[in-house]
């Protein structure tokens, strides 16, 4: 196969992956998206496999996270060329993970008789998990499972396996398609039985796990949900990012949230939610505005949860500030505060500041935010609330720790004005669906400009707002008595099983003295024509 054709196949894989995510949402594309990449790896050495995998990864990520440009250029103040460079470097960094996937797949598939239907999903889950948890730059955006956020029967197993289980299913189908398309020649009737069994076994394996997942999903969807009803209202103020900290708009922002809140109070909500950084002042530091807010709270017969920059004191001559969620009572008392723990690198703090003194932040605030230290669960008489802030909702292990601490409702507040009119707000909301299913908890999302909305404990999207409009949404949310899902209780056991499987496969096929050459790669594999 020519190099030009190989590159085309690698690009095709990346493009098919992109089509599965919002705004396209062509989820069937995900079932075959990895296949072109696997085909082009045939006969390649490990370096070439890494190269083609990286090409796929770059197309994949540039097509799904290009909106980062909007944040760093329009609101970060970087010149256009530097903004483009930042996006390219970010996508190249994450594409390395797909390159590693391709390298490992090439090695294992060429040294063993294990079908791709098993190798592909195991490796894919591991690289997704690594991309989530890598130090500083962990960023699980665009995980394969998120292409299926609307396919409710299939995603219910996330309460056992987490989001990684759905990525496993999709990647396993890709592997099975590859096994059949490449390793089952037209002259199949003359293929030795020795070569048929891995393919038959792989297809059978995929068929069984898909069937079991669908049966489990249909059962879960038909389980009757009973519990206490909590009425929640979400306020979407709709302020563009460049207005958030402009003193000229300070009074307008405060009055808008007060007006919308008074409008919704007639619906008698138990809880009213304002988005991340809703307050255009530092709560606890700017006394007149802080007092005004707490006095206003006394005029509404509901608890209020809002996002704000919060003042924690002065250390070493500078303000200690946090990106926080604050819960207040109908009497104007501050009941609880959660300080964001997973800060955005270069947005909310500068990592390795001493090594990178020339890099500024992309937010308009004084100094870096301080990192929170506790998985705070906020309590009202009716509900115990976890409040992951902004992109914290995309980290499965972070959200489940709130569940383990006793939360029974997830209220995520965010400021998606950073994203502009891009697919990012839709992608962000789609990921919240999986946090609901994983933990069997409703999710309420309050965004500054959208998407705001409600998701029930089965992942069904109940109600959403549009982008860049004022919105007030009210919904009765079913709160079940505290009962942790398997995933909430035990975490990523499924991923660790994949890691163990990978280690065993590698240990069984690494032989002393073997070299990276194409002759070795064709010696033991069942696909002699690949």
Residues marked as catalytic:
276, 340, 390
Strands 384-386 and 409-414: parallel
DSSP letter string, 491-527: -SHHHHHHHHHHHHHHHHH--TT--S-HHHHHHS-S-
Each residue of 314-350: b (16+ CB within 10 Å) or e? eeeeebebbbbbbbbbeebeeebbbbbbbbbbbbbbb
**Helix (H), strand (E) at residue 115:** none
Sheet architecture: strand order including 384-386: 378-379, 384-386, 409-414, 443-447, 453-455, 461-464
As a whole number of angstroms, the distance between CA 360 and CA 270 comes to 41
Q: Are 410 and 440 in contact (CB under 8 A)?
A: no
As a whole number of angstroms, the distance between CA 110 and CA 104 comes to 10
As a whole number of angstroms, the distance between CA 346 and CA 359 comes to 8
In this structure, what token pair is assigned to residue 320?
């200690």
As a whole number of angstroms, the distance between CA 200 and CA 208 comes to 12
For 521, residues 6+ apart whose C-beta sits below 8 A from its C-beta are 43, 45, 106, 110, 111
Ranges assigned E (strand) in 71-186: none
As a whole number of angstroms, the distance between CA 156 and CA 172 comes to 17
As a whole number of angstroms, the distance between CA 245 and CA 265 comes to 27
Please name the residue that has the structure tokens 């998985």: 375
């Amino acid at each position: 196969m020519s190099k030009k054709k190989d590159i085309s196949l690698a690009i095709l894989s990346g493009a098919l992956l992109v089509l599965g995510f919002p705004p396209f949402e062509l989820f069937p594309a995900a079932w075959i998206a990895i296949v072109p990449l696997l085909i082009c790896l045939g006969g390649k050495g490990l370096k070439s496999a890494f190269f083609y995998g990286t090409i796929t990864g770059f197309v994949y990520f540039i097509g799904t996270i290009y909106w980062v440009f909007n944040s760093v250029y329009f609101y970060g103040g970087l010149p256009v060329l530097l903004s483009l460079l930042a996006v390219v470097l970010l996508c190249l960094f994450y594409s390395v993970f797909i390159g590693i996937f391709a390298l490992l797949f090439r090695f294992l598939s060429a040294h063993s008789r294990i079908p791709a239907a098993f190798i592909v999903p195991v490796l894919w889950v591991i690289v997704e998990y690594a991309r989530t948890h890598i130090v500083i730059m962990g960023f699980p955006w665009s995980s394969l499972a998120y292409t299926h956020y609307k396919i409710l029967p299939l995603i219910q197993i996330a309460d056992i396996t987490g989001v990684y289980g759905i990525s496993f299913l999709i990647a396993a189908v890709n592997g099975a398609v590859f096994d059949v398309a490449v390793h089952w020649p037209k002259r199949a009737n003359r293929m030795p039985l020795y070569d048929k069994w891995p393919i038959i076994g792989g297809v059978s394996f995929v068929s069984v796990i898909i069937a079991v997942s669908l049966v489990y999903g249909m059962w879960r969807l038909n389980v009757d949900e009973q519990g206490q009803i909590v009425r929640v209202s979400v306020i979407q103020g709709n302020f563009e990012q460049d207005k958030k900290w402009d003193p000229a708009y300070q009074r307008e922002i405060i009055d808008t949230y007060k007006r919308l809140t008074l409008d919704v109070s007639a619906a008698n909500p138990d809880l009213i939610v304002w988005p991340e950084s809703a307050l255009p002042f530092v709560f606890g530091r700017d006394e007149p505005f802080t007092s005004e807010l707490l006095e206003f709270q006394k005029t509404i017969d509901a608890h209020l949860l809002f996002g704000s920059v919060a003042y924690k004191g002065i250390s070493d001559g500078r303000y200690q500030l946090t990106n926080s969620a604050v819960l207040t009572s109908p009497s104007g008392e501050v009941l609880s505060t959660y300080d964001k723990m997973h800060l955005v690198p270069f947005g909310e703090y500068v990592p390795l500041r001493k090594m990178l003194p020339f890099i500024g932040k992309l937010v308009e605030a004084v100094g870096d935010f301080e990192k929170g230290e506790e998985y705070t669960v906020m309590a009202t008489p009716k509900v115990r609330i976890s409040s992951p802030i902004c992109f914290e909702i995309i980290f499965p292990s972070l959200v489940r720790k709130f569940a383990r601490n006793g939360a029974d409702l997830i209220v995520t507040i965010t400021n998606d004005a950073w994203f502009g009119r891009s697919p990012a707000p839709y992608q962000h909301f789609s990921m919240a669906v999986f946090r609901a299913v994983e933990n069997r908890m409703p999710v309420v999302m309050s965004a500054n400009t959208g998407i705001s909305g409600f998701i029930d404990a089965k992942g069904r999207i109940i109600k959403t707002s549009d982008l860049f409009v004022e919105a007030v949404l009210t919904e009765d949310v079913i709160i079940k008595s505290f009962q942790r899902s398997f995933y909430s209780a035990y975490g990523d056991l499924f991923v660790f099983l994949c890691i163990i499987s990978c280690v065993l496969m590698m240990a069984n096929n690494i032989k002393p003295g073997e070299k990276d050459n194409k002759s070795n790669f064709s010696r033991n594999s069942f696909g002699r024509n690949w």
